[in-house]
Amino acid sequence: NYYPWGYDSDNGPDQWHKNYPFAKGRHQSPIEINNKEVHYDSSLLPWFASYDPGAAKTILNNGKTCRVVFDDSFDRSVLRGGPLPGVYRLRQLHFHWGSSDDHGSEHVVNGVRYAGELHLLHWNPKYSNYLDAKRRTDGIAVLAIFLQVGETPKAEMKRILEEINAIKTKGKNAPFPNFDPSILFPKSHDYWTYHGSVTTPPCEECVTWIILREPIIVSSDQMAKLRSLSKNAENEPDHPLVDNWRPTQPRYFRMVSASFL
């Protein structure tokens, strides 16, 4: 009897490997990033995002996260440079967050858990489609940005959070036109990079991670807004959509490179 994966004790990260064997691999994500183990790589190039606001389509609640999807039928919104061998097409962005402001991110930096983590998922168009790209070690690039709670929130987050009321329950979606996610980026483009996996089942090891050092500031109210989402459908008992983050996984013999000293 099929029981969907999730983040609860009976279907959460510790159980995923039963249906998704990749979850016990040697290149899993997220991981702990510790300064003393990071390797500064002066040859790392800057990364560039060239996003077309017209590519933004829809915002949805899939019961696991809040996701904005983009038209990825051609090289319309792309990420390039950094550790990437070519352009990667923006397909969607989504968030991970906690049940309170003191945790919620997936990656952990020198023991610091942030309130949340924004992921912009891109795929390598040298492969015929996204699903094919997910089967390749160089198939996916995720740009990760930490959400830190502070007093002067980033105004640009408002647009996404204003839509939350329209997608309260699982399966709800709303049009989300004219949105360039690069307005969410912090000032500094400094990043860490390593090779890992998608952090949700099937946990394929296909991701070049680009994790920005500088978090973006959100307000506690904005985090509360994300936590007001429900993981259930409209006509089901209400369960808040919170703590949709995977714990850190063993790094094994992977190098984490830094673009900055």
Ligand X SMILES: NS(=O)(=O)/N=C1/NCCS1
Binding stretches for ligand X (CB under 6 A): 119, 121, 142, 198-200
Report what 27 binds from ligand X, Zn ion, none; CB cut-off 5-8 Å by kind. none
Closest CB 237 distance from ligand X, rounded Å: 26
Does 67 help bind Zn ion (rule: CB under 5 A)? no
Cis, bond preceding 175 (omega within 30 deg of 0): no
Closest alpha carbon to 179 in 256, 120, 135: 120
Nearer to ligand X among residue 197 and residue 222 (C-beta):
197
Closest alpha carbon to 202 in 30, 14, 19, 66: 19
Task: Decide: helix, strand or coil at residue 40.
Answer: strand
Closest CB 96 distance from Zn ion, rounded Å: 5
Does 122 help bind Zn ion (rule: CB under 5 A)? no
Does 119 help bind Zn ion (rule: CB under 5 A)? yes
Closest CB 67 distance from ligand X, rounded Å: 8
**43: Cα separation from own chain's centroid:** 26
Report what 69 binds from ligand X, Zn ion, none; CB cut-off 5-8 Å by kind. none
Report what 198 binds from Zn ion, ligand X, none; CB cut-off 5-8 Å by kind. ligand X
Pull the structure tokens for residue 33. Answer: 């990033």
Closest CB 65 distance from ligand X, rounded Å: 8
- How many Å apart are CA 92 and CA 241, to the nearest integer? 19
Bin 34: left if φ > 0, else alpha if -120 < ψ < 50, else beta: beta
Closest CB 92 distance from ligand X, rounded Å: 7
Contact 119, 93 (CB under 8 A): yes
Pull the structure tokens for residue 43. Answer: 């040859």
Nearer to ligand X among residue 225 and residue 246 (C-beta):
246
Which residues of the shown chain bind Zn ion in the complex (CB under 5 A)?
Answer: 119
